[in-house]
Amino acid sequence: MPVPVIYIALAIALTLELFFFSIFFTSQLAKMPVIAGFILCLIISVLSLFISLYALVKHSPKFVAALSFIIAMVILFFTVWAYLIPEAGIPAPIQLW
Residue 38 has what pLDDT? 92
Contact 19, 29 (CB under 8 A): no
Span 33-86, pLDDT tens digits: 999 999 999 999 999 999 999 988 887 788 988 999 999 999 999 999 988 888
Contact 17, 72 (CB under 8 A): yes
First to last CA, the chain: 54
Residue 74 has what pLDDT? 95
Task: Kindly report the number of other CB atoms within 10 A of residue 53's CB atom.
Answer: 15
